[in-house]
Amino acid sequence: MRNPEIALCSLSRRRVAADRIDLAAPKLECHEGAIDRQCGAECAVMSGGDRSRRREAALCSADFLTEAPTVKIRPYTPADREACLALLRSNIPEHFSPAEEAELARFLDALPGPYFVVEDGGRLIASGGIAAERDGVTATLCWGIVDATRQRSGVGTELLEHRLDVFLRDNPQIRQLQTNTSQKVQGFYAKHGFIVVEVRHRAYGPDLDHVRMVRDRPPARERS
């Protein structure tokens, strides 16, 4: 099933609201503001300027937008176990060491808090959870994983926001969030307001540091 309200920029893979794009136009044009900033700038330059680049511009605009498949976030069920392990495997060795597959399996078999999966056309493309710590005021983000072929397209952010929306709404006592991640991914959490408080070099593997990051509970309005 396709979602008629969302279109996908085929260059950046970012989603944009379809009502900002004239899908009925014979050729999809690159309207400033209707598409991702980076592509918008690129395509505006290509179609507006240099004649020698007209062909590229035409190709670019013809292939510019495709409808986005429906992406759905829902709670994990045991039937998702193997697909979640496959998500982790898709990130070995870049982001996880092989030993972590058994750790994830144990985690899934005894979930300490809510765990969610992201489905795209029936296929699992990401998963992630969150759990309260014993101190009663800290929540830890657990095993946030996006399929290696689907990273940097906004899925991780949507899943993070969903986890926080659901969990913080039900747990008003939580004051602080933490994540145990690696040096390769700390930039993602930094973009979401987390700061590094501890680094254990090579703790997760020969090329993987353990980086602990924290942030205060975001105010509700930041999570609209």
Task: Collect all residues with Cβ–Cβ distance below 8 Å to 94 and sequence separation of at least 6.
Answer: 148, 184
The 10 Å Cβ neighbour count of residue 203 is: 12
Nearer of residues 47 and 181 to ligand COA, judged by Cβ = 181
Minimum distance from residue 212 beta carbon to ligand COA (Å)? 10
Minimum distance from residue 35 beta carbon to ligand COA (Å)? 14
Minimum distance from residue 191 beta carbon to ligand COA (Å)? 4
Residue nearest to ligand COA (CB): 156
Nearer of residues 47 and 115 to ligand COA, judged by Cβ = 115
Structure tokens at 75: 């709670």
User: How many whole angstroms separate alpha carbon 118 and alpha carbon 148?
Assistant: 14
Of 161, 202, 163, 167, the C-alpha closest to 182 is 202
Residues in contact with ligand COA by the rule CB under 6 A: 91, 95, 144-146, 151-157, 179, 181-182, 184-185, 187-188, 191
Distance from chain centroid for Cα 115: 15
Minimum distance from residue 186 beta carbon to ligand COA (Å)? 7
3-state DSSP assignment of residue 56: helix
Nearer of residues 34 and 144 to ligand COA, judged by Cβ = 144
Minimum distance from residue 160 beta carbon to ligand COA (Å)? 7
Nearer of residues 73 and 146 to ligand COA, judged by Cβ = 146
Nearer of residues 47 and 90 to ligand COA, judged by Cβ = 90
Cα angle 173-106-188, degrees, rounded to a multiple of 5: 55
